[in-house]
Structure 1
Amino acid sequence: MDIELRAVKDEAEAKRFMIACEATFGDELTDDDWKDFKNVLESDRTIAAFDGDDIIGTAAAFSFRLTVPGGGEVRAAGVTVVGVLPSHRRKGVATKMMRKQLDDVRAAGEPVAILWASEGSIYQRFGYGLATVGQQIDIPRTKTRLLNDPDRVGTVKVGVPMENVGDLSKVYDRARSERPGMVARSEKWWKHHTLRDPERHRDGGGPRFSGILEIDSEPAAYALYRMHHKWDDGSPQGHIEVKELVATSPVAEREMWRFVFDIDLTASVKAWWLPQDSPLMLMLMEPRSLKARASDSIWARIVDVPGAFEARSYNGSGEVVIDVSDDFCPWNEGRWSFDISDGKARITKTDADADIKLHARELGALYLGAFTFAELERALRVETWTEGAIGRADDLFRTARKPWNPEIF
Structure 2
Amino acid sequence: MATDRATELKVLRAEEFDGWWEHLVRAFGAGPASAEERELDRSLTDFERSLAVWEGSELVGTGGAFRFRMTVPGGAVLPTAGVTMVSVAATHRRRGVLTSMMRRQLDDVREWGEPLAALTASEPAIYGRFGYAAATFQLQAEIDTSRVTLDVPAGTDGVRVRYAAPAEVLAACEAVYARTVPLRPGMLARQPGWERVALLDPESERDGASALQCVVAERDGEVTGYARFRTRLGWSPSGHDGTVALEDLAAVDPVSDAALWQFLFGIDLMSKLTVRGRPVDDAWQYLVSDIRRCLTRVQDKGYVRLVDVGAALAARTYQTPVDVVLAVEDAFCPWNTGRWRLTGDPKGASCERTTDPAELALSVRELGAAYLGGVSLLSLARAGRVAELRPGALAEASTAFGSPVTPWLPHGF
TM-score between the two structures when normalised by the length of structure 2: 0.95
Distance, in Å, in 2 between the alignment partners of 1:229 and 1:337 is: 58
Distance, in Å, in 2 between the alignment partners of 1:20 and 1:29 is: 12
Identify the residue that residue 21 of structure 1 maps to in structure 2: 24
Identify the residue that residue 206 of structure 1 maps to in structure 2: 210
Distance, in Å, in 2 between the alignment partners of 1:356 and 1:328 is: 20
Which residue type is aligned with residue 328 of structure 2?
A: V
Answer yes or no: is the 8 Å Cα contact 1:45–1:61 preserved in 2: yes
Distance, in Å, in 2 between the alignment partners of 1:219 and 1:17 is: 40
> SS where residue 288 of structure 1 aligns?
helix
Aligned counterpart in structure 2 of residue 103 of structure 1, from 104, 107, 110: 107
The 5-angstrom pairing of residues 53-92 of structure 1 reads 53-92=57-96
1:129 matched to 2:129:
no
Answer yes or no: is the 8 Å Cα contact 1:165–1:187 preserved in 2: no
Q: 1:187 to 1:160 in 2, by over 3 A?
A: farther
1:356 matched to 2:325:
no
Aligned counterpart in structure 2 of residue 275 of structure 1, from 274, 279, 300: 279
Q: How far did 1:218 drift?
A: 1.8
Answer yes or no: is the 8 Å Cα contact 2:152–2:258 preserved in 1: no
Identify the residue that residue 322 of structure 2 maps to in structure 1: 318
Q: How far did 1:396 drift?
A: 2.1
> SS where residue 66 of structure 2 aligns?
strand
Answer yes or no: is the 8 Å Cα contact 1:59–1:80 preserved in 2: yes
Q: How far did 1:349 drift?
A: 1.0
Aligned counterpart in structure 2 of residue 407 of structure 1, from 383, 393, 411: 411
> SS where residue 399 of structure 1 aligns?
coil
Q: 1:70 to 1:64 in 2, by over 3 A?
A: same
> SS where residue 176 of structure 1 aligns?
helix
- Structure 2: which 5+ runs fail to align? none
Aligned counterpart in structure 1 of residue 175 of structure 2, from 170, 173, 176: 170
- Structure 1: which 5+ runs fail to align? none
Distance, in Å, in 1 between the alignment partners of 2:177 and 2:301 is: 19
Q: How far did 1:212 drift?
A: 1.0
Distance, in Å, in 1 between the alignment partners of 2:397 and 2:337 is: 19
Which residue type is aligned with residue 171 of structure 1?
A: V
Answer yes or no: is the 8 Å Cα contact 2:317–2:346 preserved in 1: no
CA deviation map 1:79-98 (0-9, x unaligned): 11111111111111111111
Distance, in Å, in 1 between the alignment partners of 2:322 and 2:136 is: 26
Answer yes or no: is the 8 Å Cα contact 2:161–2:259 preserved in 1: no
> SS where residue 142 of structure 1 aligns?
coil
Identify the residue that residue 181 of structure 1 maps to in structure 2: 186
Distance, in Å, in 2 between the alignment partners of 1:267 and 1:285 is: 15
Distance, in Å, in 2 between the alignment partners of 1:22 and 1:356 is: 43
Identify the residue that residue 376 of structure 2 maps to in structure 1: 372
Q: How far did 1:127 drift?
A: 0.5
Answer yes or no: is the 8 Å Cα contact 1:194–1:407 preserved in 2: no
Answer yes or no: is the 8 Å Cα contact 1:137–1:271 preserved in 2: yes
Distance, in Å, in 2 between the alignment partners of 1:144 and 1:166 is: 33
Q: How far did 1:180 drift?
A: 1.0
1:332 matched to 2:336:
yes
Percentage of identical aligned residues: 36
Aligned counterpart in structure 2 of residue 158 of structure 1, from 157, 163, 187: 163
Q: 1:148 to 1:98 in 2, by over 3 A?
A: closer
Aligned counterpart in structure 2 of residue 344 of structure 1, from 339, 345, 348: 348
Q: How far did 1:231 drift?
A: 2.2
Answer yes or no: is the 8 Å Cα contact 1:317–1:343 preserved in 2: no
CA deviation map 1:26-58 (0-9, x unaligned): 224442221211111111111111111111111
Q: How far did 1:253 drift?
A: 1.7
TM-score between the two structures when normalised by the length of structure 1: 0.96
Q: 1:243 to 1:218 in 2, by over 3 A?
A: same
Identify the residue that residue 309 of structure 2 maps to in structure 1: 305
Identify the residue that residue 397 of structure 2 maps to in structure 1: 393
Which residue type is aligned with residue 352 of structure 2?
A: T
The 5-angstrom pairing of residues 27-46 of structure 1 reads 27=30, 28-46=32-50
